[in-house]
C-alpha cells in the first residue's frame, strides 16, 4: 500500500559552532574566535547517551549523524516521505548573554534556511529561538515569517516560566502573524532544576520525566487562555509521547468543572481545546503494542498523532515498529501523513 508519509520530526544537528560562524555577523565571528566559544554548555541529552543516536545510525567515521542534509534525505527516501520537518535542538536557551543567544539563534536559522532547505525540497524548517528574551524571539519569527518553508517555531519544553505565562505572548503573537505552528521539543536549560522536585541523580530520570514537563506546559497554555487569545494557534508536542494523554485529559476536564471561576476565559472543556489545537508526534511510542488500541480509543480526538522517525534518536529498533501494525486502520494511514499535512499546511 502506498502511503503518503510525512516525517514530522527529523533532527538537524549542529555538529560544531564552525558550521554557524559563516552565518554570524563580523562582531560575533570575532567573539567566537576570541573567546573560544564552542557552543552551548548543555544540551538536551548527554552527547553520548544511547537515546541521542540509535546505535545502528552511529557513523564509524566520526561524523555526527544528522549534521548534514544528505543524512536526512536518505531517511526521507527510506520512508518515501513527502516532507520532513527539521528540528534543531541547538541550546541557545542555555546561553545567558541575551545578545549572544539571539545572534546564535539567527545563525542557526540562517544555516537551516541557506544550507538545508535548498538541499532537499521536502525539507521544512523549525525556527530556533532565543526564548529567554521573548521580544527577541518574536523578532526572529518576524524576520523569517515570509519564508514559505518555515513552518514552525520550536521551543524547548523546559523553560523559565510556563509558556502560558503572559511574558511569552509576543512569541505566540508572532507565530500567529507568521501563520506557523508552535512546537515544543524535549530539553531546555532555563536554569531551574529539570524536574519540579529538584535535581535528579540520573539522566534516566530526566529522560523519563519529559512527559511531565509537556503536561505542565499544556496545563499552562490552557489555563492562561492562550488558545482563546490565538484562535488559530497550532501546538505540536514533539517527543512527549501520548500514553499519558487520556488520564491527563480526564483530570483537566474534571478540574475545570470546579475551578472555572479562577480562569473564566477558559470557556470550554480542556479536552475540546486539545482536540482542536494540539497534535502529537508519534515517537516515542511508550505504549506496549497490546495497549495501543485502548489508548488510541481514549485519546480526545482521532486526528491527534503525526508520524515521525525522530531520526536519529533511538525510538525503535526495527522499521516496522515505527508505525506499528497494532494501530488500527484507517487511523494508521492518517497518522502516516494526513494529520501532519493538515497541521503544517503542507501541499
Partner 1 sequence: MTVDAARDRSPAARSARAAIVDADIHNTWPEPAALDPYLPERWRRLRARLGERLHPGAQYPRLNPAAARTDAWPPEGGLPGSSLDLMRDQLLDRWSIERGILNPLLEAGELLNLEYGAAFAQAINDWQVAEWLEPEPRLRASITVPYEDAPLAVAEIERRAGDRRFVQVLLASRTLEPLGRRRYWPMYGAAEAAGLPIGIHFGGAGGFPTTAAGLPSFYFEEHAGMATVFQDQLTSLVFEGVFERFPGLRVVLIEGGFAWLLPLMWRLDRTWRMLRDELAHVTRPPSHTIRERVFLTTQPIEEPPQPELLARLLDRMDMDGQLLFATDYPHWDFDAPDRALPPVLGGARRDRLLRRNACALYRFG
Partner 2 sequence: MRQHALGPIDEFPPGSRRIVELDGRSIGVFNVDGRLYALRNRCPHQGAPLCLGPVAPLVTAPCPGSYVAERTEVIRCPWHGWEFQLADGRSWVDPEGTRVRAYPVEVRRGQVFIEMR
Give me the residues that bind partner 2 (CB under 8 A), please: 166, 224-225, 228-229, 256-261, 263-265, 269
Distance CA 211, CA 281 (A): 12
Stretch in the footprint of partner 1 (CB under 8 A) among 56-64, 75-83, 140-148, 199-207: 199-207
The nearer residue to partner 2, 64 or 169, going by C-beta atoms, is 169
The nearer residue to partner 2, 258 or 347, going by C-beta atoms, is 258
- Which one of partner 2, partner 1, none is in contact with 212 (Cβ closer than 5 to 8 A by kind)? partner 1
A 10 A CB-CB count for 106 gives 25
> What is the nearest approach in angstroms of partner 2 to the Cβ of residue 217?
17
Compute φ and ψ for 202, nearest 5 degrees. Answer: -115, 140
- Which one of partner 2, partner 1, none is in contact with 264 (Cβ closer than 5 to 8 A by kind)? partner 2
135: exposed, middle or buried (C-beta count within 10 Å: 0-12, 13-18, 19+)? middle
Which runs of consecutive H residues, i.e. helices, occur in the chain? 26-35, 69-78, 98-111, 134-144, 169-178, 203-208, 210-223, 226-229, 245-259, 270-277, 292-298, 331-333, 339-343
Task: Please give the residues from 208 up to 267 whose contact with partner 1 meets the rule CB under 8 A.
Answer: 208-209, 211-213, 215-217, 219-220, 223-224, 241, 243-244, 246-248, 250-256, 258-259, 262-263
Q: What is the secondary structure of 97-145 as a DSSP string?
A: -HHHHHHHHHHHHHHIIIIIGGG-TTEEEEEE--TTSHHHHHHHHHHHT
Helix, coil or strand: residue 90: coil
Stretch in the footprint of partner 1 (CB under 8 A) among 111-119, 129-137, 202-210, 330-338: 202-210
Angle at CA 231, nearest 5°, toward 258 and 123?
125
Does 50 interact with partner 1 (rule: CB under 8 A)? yes
Does 94 interact with partner 1 (rule: CB under 8 A)? no
Which positions lie near partner 1, rule CB under 8 A?
Answer: 49-51, 157-165, 188, 190, 192-205, 207-209, 211-213, 215-217, 219-220, 223-224, 241, 243-244, 246-248, 250-256, 258-259, 262-263, 284, 286-288, 291, 294, 298, 314
Amino acid at each position: 500500500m502506498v502511503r503518503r508519509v510525512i516525517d514530522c520530526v527529523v533532527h538537524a544537528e549542529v555538529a560544531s559552532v564552525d558550521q554557524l560562524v559563516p552565518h554570524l555577523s563580523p562582531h560575533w565571528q570575532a567573539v567566537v574566535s576570541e573567546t573560544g566559544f564552542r557552543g552551548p554548555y548543555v544540551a538536551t541529552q548527554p552527547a553520548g547517551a544511547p537515546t541521542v543516536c540509535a546505535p545502528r545510525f552511529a557513523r564509524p567515521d566520526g561524523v555526527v549523524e544528522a549534521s548534514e542534509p544528505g543524512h536526512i534525505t536518505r531517511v526521507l527516501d527510506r520512508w518515501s516521505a513527502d516532507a520532513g520537518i527539521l528540528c534543531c535542538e541547538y541550546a541557545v536557551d542555555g546561553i545567558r548573554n541575551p545578545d549572544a543567544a539571539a545572534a546564535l539563534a539567527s545563525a542557526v536559522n540562517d544555516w537551516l534556511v541557506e544550507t538545508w532547505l535548498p538541499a532537499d525540497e521536502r525539507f521544512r524548517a523549525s525556527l530556533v529561538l532565543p526564548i529567554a528574551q521573548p521580544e527577541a524571539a518574536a523578532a526572529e519569527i518576524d524576520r523569517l515569517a515570509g519564508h514559505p518553508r518555515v513552518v514552525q517555531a520550536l521551543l524547548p519544553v523546559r523553560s523559565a516560566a510556563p509558556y502560558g505565562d503572559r511574558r511569552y505572548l509576543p512569541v505566540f503573537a508572532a507565530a500567529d502573524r507568521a501563520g506557523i505552528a508552535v512546537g515544543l521539543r524535549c530539553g531546555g536549560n532555563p536554569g531551574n532544576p529539570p524536574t519540579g522536585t529538584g535535581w535528579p541523580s540520573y539522566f534516566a530520570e530526566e529522560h523519563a520525566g519529559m512527559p511531565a514537563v509537556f503536561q505542565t506546559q499544556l496545563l499552562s497554555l490552557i489555563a492562561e487562555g492562550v488558545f482563546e487569545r490565538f484562535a488559530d494557534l497550532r501546538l505540536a508536542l514533539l517527543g512527549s509521547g501520548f500514553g499519558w494523554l487520556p488520564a491527563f485529559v480526564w483530570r483537566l476536564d474534571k478540574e475545570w468543572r470546579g475551578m472555572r471561576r479562577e480562569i473564566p476565559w477558559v470557556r470550554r472543556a480542556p479536552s475540546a481545546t486539545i482536540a482542536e489545537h494540539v497534535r502529537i508526534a508519534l515517537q516515542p511510542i511508550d505504549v506496549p503494542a497490546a495497549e495501543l488500541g485502548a489508548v488510541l480509543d481514549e485519546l480526545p480526538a482521532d486526528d491527534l498523532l503525526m508520524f515521525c522517525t525522530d531520526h536519529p534518536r533511538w525510538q525503535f529498533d526495527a522499521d516496522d515498529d515505527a508505525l506499528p501494525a497494532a494501530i488500527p486502520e484507517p487511523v494508521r494511514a492518517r497518522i502516516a501523513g494526513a494529520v501532519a499535512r493538515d497541521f503544517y499546511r503542507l501541499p
